[in-house]
Amino acid sequence: MIETLEDFIREFTKIKETGWIQTHRSGPTGIGKTLEDLLGIPENNLDQPDFGDYELKSCRIDSQSMLTMFTRSPQPAKANTYLRQKYGYASNVYDNDEKVLHSTLSADRFTTISNTGKMLKIHCKSDGIYIESQDIIEDIFWSREALRKCFEKKYKNKFVYAKALTKGTGSNEEFHFIEAYEVSGFNYDAFITLLEAGKIYVDLRIGQYHNGKNKGKTHDHGTGFRIREADQHLLFKIQNKIV
């Protein structure tokens, strides 16, 4: 197993020179699983570095796959209930007329909310990220500091990003790992730039409880901030190409 950045560079260079390698697992996580196996890194879901001080990330070059960076409910308290009741819609998943609100929003365009005729988008201000309708910028927001803390909690380690060309699909997918970067330091300005350009999305996942004493009440399934797999490295201030 590798332990240092120098170990990674040495072993990744060998992997690069090998050329095309068949995936060790079908699906989106195949690239990460394959690289971990090749580097001798055991798979785990623990909140700790993969080797030394570094967490290993890998991505398919030009991939359109989306990754959830972190989840965070908007402020103030009961904001989700307000959004659900004002902009939500009835769902046949539930046996009542209470509303839900599942929608993916971006800052570069309005998104139509189901069959309600209502539309929402993200609006960036200097102090945070707000939700905007056709009529009003709602006082529903994520503060700059809250977003920074979420990101730094999720990405508190140093990172190595490995990139690969791909061909084939499913169990026949193959990777050619060609370059790697050492990245660190969350760049909030880059985050806002990507958000304003429509390259970061906000997934509202506001449902209701199915049963029990809270049946019909708001159930927050985790509002997610998402980005394309291939763009995630752009969120960091320091990007040093190491291979």
What CATH number should be reported for the domain holding residue 182?
3.40.210.20
What is the pLDDT at residue 97?
72
Using pLDDT thresholds of 50, 70 and 90, give the confidence band for residue 94.
low
Answer yes or no: do 10 and 112 share one domain: no
What average pLDDT does range 98-118 have in this prediction?
93
Answer yes or no: do 133 and 211 share one domain: yes
φ/ψ (deg, to 5) at 136: -160, 150
Q: What's 195's domain CATH number?
A: 3.30.70.3570
φ/ψ (deg, to 5) at 221: -90, 5
Number of domains, the chain? 2
Contact 209, 150 (CB under 8 A): no
Sign of CA dihedral 142, 148, 151, 152: negative
Could you list the residue range(s) of the whole structural domain that residue 18 is in? 5-63+155-186+230-241
Per-residue pLDDT reduced to its tens digit, 13-69: 999 999 999 999 999 899 999 999 999 999 876 667 899 989 898 999 988 888 888
Residue 111: CB atoms within 10 A of its CB come to 16
Answer yes or no: do 140 and 220 share one domain: yes
99-102 long-range contacts, CB within 8 A, separation 24+: 99/208, 100/206, 100/207, 100/208, 101/204, 101/206, 102/203, 102/204, 102/205, 102/206, 102/207
Cα distance between residue 203 and residue 103, in whole Å: 6
